[in-house]
Amino acid sequence: MVTMSFEPPAEQLTDEQGPPSLLESTARRSLRTILDPEVGLPIEELGMLPGLLVEDDLVRVDLALVPERVHLADHLSNAVAAALGQLMGIRRIEVLPREMTSVERDEVGQRLGAAQGRQIARLSDGTTKVVAIASGKGGVGKSTVAVNLACALAAQGKRVGLVDLDIWGYSVPKMIGVSGTPLGFGEILLPMQVHGVKVASIGLLVDDRTPVVWRGPLLHEAVQHLLTRVYWGDLDVLVADLPPGTGDVPMSLAGLVRDAVVVIVTTPQETASAVAERAGRMAKTAHLRVAGVIENMAGYECPHCGDRSELFGQGGGDELADLLKVPVLGRIPISVQLRRSCDEHQPVVVAARADAVAKEFIAITSRLDRSTRAMVRRHVPVTSASPAIGDGATVRPICEKARTM
């Protein structure tokens, strides 16, 4: 039996009824496998299972939902019942959904906030590899590269985050196919999850038609929050989609995570590669390591006759790599499939994994791994030009700032 009432339970289910039985311990372990379908975290970790009571062959579960997750009541109740129904000794199951109290929500925020120290430590010591995707100018396919590399890495079993730091021109949510409003617990924001990638973007916090008109200090704070106030968990790789050029955001990233590596995206056109060189020089000036160059729009092969046309010239990627003394990590040709995948909000490495372009993105992840492993790792702590990290200062949550913009 699954009870679907949103009335608070007559009495709070607690653990104050003696030591847990073997059946209760087994039930709790089983429930830890249930994930929130929108953020990919265990619902126990999100405070949604505050109480469980076992009486003979009956298991009664207190399911606490934040208002933003009330629509998942049926889904999660059925998931709880299915998980418990597989256990020997359980004949009756009651799931009591209700709204989470403000006190419970604050406790979850405090618990997640306490775990942020480990996340920042992983960013500091290089355990989480931060790969920033940069370009000298817009329109060269930088976000397309960032999204597909993140999904390709996740498909290889890596724990991957994708942070959209293109504050003005955010496009990651649409390209990767994620929507909705992220959950917030106090100052902690939970990333959305899709294709095995955890995603955070200003685009998930503001109306899609709303322009973001922030300048220096607000931009720095936005970068800081997206890196350190989002509950990324233990990541292997955090891919950062930077805005084009050499402005405030790349410099903020350089100041916050000095062990990041940069990949420069350009087209074969001479003018584009000349502009992209400035982004590479800026990265080196900021003591960031340039891992390599990706040449996008590298020719077009007609699917009918097989003729190849260099629509944007050729040689720009090689020239840029020579100037920066880094390898060319890959060349992405102009592709109808790639364009179609972007329009349909499905990365090509997900929608058409056997496509030649998808295979090139997958190959680039291997070359990128070899390139970064060949570099000498420096252990530099996460730093900040503002008092928001490390001194206990109260920071206005970025989601509130976005709503009141």
Identify the DSSP state of 89: T
Same domain, 234 and 293: yes
Residue 382 maps to a domain: no
Task: Indicate the residue type of 388.
Answer: A
Domain that holds residue 95: 22-100
Residue 17 maps to a domain: no
**What CATH code is carried by the domain that includes residue 188?**
3.40.50.300
Task: Indicate the residue type of 91.
Answer: R
pLDDT tier for residue 15 given thresholds of 50, 70 and 90:
very low
Residue 351 maps to a domain: yes
**C-beta contacts of 322-325 below 8 A and 24+ residues apart:** 323/277, 323/280, 324/264, 324/277, 324/280, 324/281, 324/284, 324/290, 324/293
Whether 264 has a pLDDT exceeding 90, the answer reads yes
Sign (positive or negative) of CA dihedral 246, 249, 252, 253: negative
pLDDT digit string, tens, across residues 315-338: 788 899 998 999 999 999 988 888
Q: Which of 193, 131, 208 has the alpha carbon at shortest distance from 165? A: 131
How much is the average pLDDT of 77-82? 94
Q: With b meaning 16 or more CB within 10 Å and e meaning fewer, what string describes 21-50?
A: eebbebbeebbeebbbebbbbebbbbbbbb
pLDDT tier for residue 216 given thresholds of 50, 70 and 90:
low
Whether 314 has a pLDDT exceeding 70, the answer reads yes
pLDDT for res 10: 39
Same domain, 309 and 250: yes
pLDDT for res 20: 59
Residue 394 maps to a domain: no
pLDDT for res 311: 67
Residue 209 maps to a domain: yes
Bridge partners of residue 241, in order along the sequence:
133, 164
pLDDT for res 159: 94
Percent of residues, the chain, with pLDDT higher than 90? 35
- Count: domains in the chain: 2
Q: What's the distance, Cα to Cα, between the start and end of the chain in Å? A: 47
More confident residue, 215 or 121: 121
More confident residue, 215 or 64: 64
